[in-house]
Amino acid sequence: MDDFKILTIQDISCVGQCSMTVALPILSACGLETAVLPSAVLSTHTAGFQDFTVKDLTEEMPKIIEHWKKEGIRFRALYTGYLGSAEMISYVLTIRNELLTDDGVFIFDPAMADDGKLYPAFDEAYVREMKKLCAVADVVLPNLTEACFLTDTPYKEDFNGRWVNGLIDSLRGLGAKQVVLTGVSFTDHSTGVASSTGGATYYYHHIKYAKGCHGTGDVYSSAFTGAFMRGMTLHDAARVAADFTARCIGYTQENYPDHWYGVKFEPVLPELIEKL
Ligand code: PXL
């Protein structure tokens, strides 16, 4: 059986331009066959909509895993995002351990926090479980807040390169083989990413838009996963994904200044395809 498939595990927010509805189109645009395991179905994402509905899908996971095992299905990469409950993390570990090919890659976006705070659905128990995924990740893709939660580091907005390098060392201390840290901003008008593999850490900076946008973490991680699985180095994939995400924010703010719940990444996809 052809095994050059990616499996992505994250929620379906039916409306909201995040998680699965961002990952699938981006990975497809990158030319990669993508299988899905929805972790939960929500009527919308949880950041700004009121009274959203949530259906957790943890209990489906063992049945799906068993079926895939029987069929001999394996994946060349596992890419996880927003999961939703601490209980499902043991199943994610089973998938990582038993359904990846021998050279398979686990790309872990610990989507659980931003701006110094956990998302509403999560607590310390969830963070504890996420540390177990970080320990076996080939690449971990946190923003600064998530990196702080994973490493028990107090969050701060004013920092220097030494502090960021310490955070990267702590993530690698947890077990993550390679790190791409997002939202690393040393000046008011720029932001960027720090990518670290082997002994080398590179910083890449680009324009910072005044207003932050929801869903950009998922756009970034999906574009990174697409570029990395198309064979780019960690540093190149980190840079291509950063440029794409910045362009999506710029495009949205120029053309749809009132669009608040996500970014209009769709019209920018041709630019990502050109870079691959
Ligand atoms: O990764 C962002 C995200 C994904 N899914 C859901 C969310 C959020 C952020 O708030 O609420 C359901």
Q: pLDDT tens-digit profile of 148-159?
A: 999 999 999 999
pLDDT of residue 3: 55
Determine the Cα angle at 23 with ends 22 and 24, to 5°.
100
| Strand blocks (E) in 128-177 | 139-140
Low-confidence ranges of the chain (pLDDT < 50): 1
Paired residues of 105 in beta bridges: 77
CATH code of the region 5-269: 3.40.1190.20
Distances (CA, A) of 70 to 21, 34, 60, 66, 98: 28, 20, 16, 6, 12
- Tell me the CA–centroid distance for residue 120 and ligand 1, in Å: 10
Structure tokens at 49: 């909509």
- Tell me the CA–centroid distance for residue 27 and ligand 1, in Å: 18
Which atom of ligand 1 sits closest to the CA of residue 47? 10
Which atom of ligand 1 sits closest to the CA of residue 40? 12
pLDDT of residue 2: 52
**CB-based contacts of 70, cutoff 8 Å, min separation 6:** none
pLDDT of residue 212: 76
pLDDT of residue 154: 97
Q: Strand order in 200-207's β-sheet?
A: 54-56, 34-44, 6-15, 75-80, 100-108, 139-140, 178-182, 190-197, 200-207
Q: pLDDT tens-digit profile of 107-117?
A: 999 999 999 99
Is residue 47 within 6 Å of ligand 1 at its C-beta?
A: yes
pLDDT of residue 1: 46
Which atom of ligand 1 sits closest to the CA of residue 218? 1
pLDDT of residue 211: 78
Q: What is this structure's pTM?
A: 0.97
d(CA 202, CA 13): 33
Do 106 and 95 contact (CB within 8 A), yes or no?
no
Closest C-alpha to ligand 1, atom 8: 45
Structure tokens at 238: 């980190």
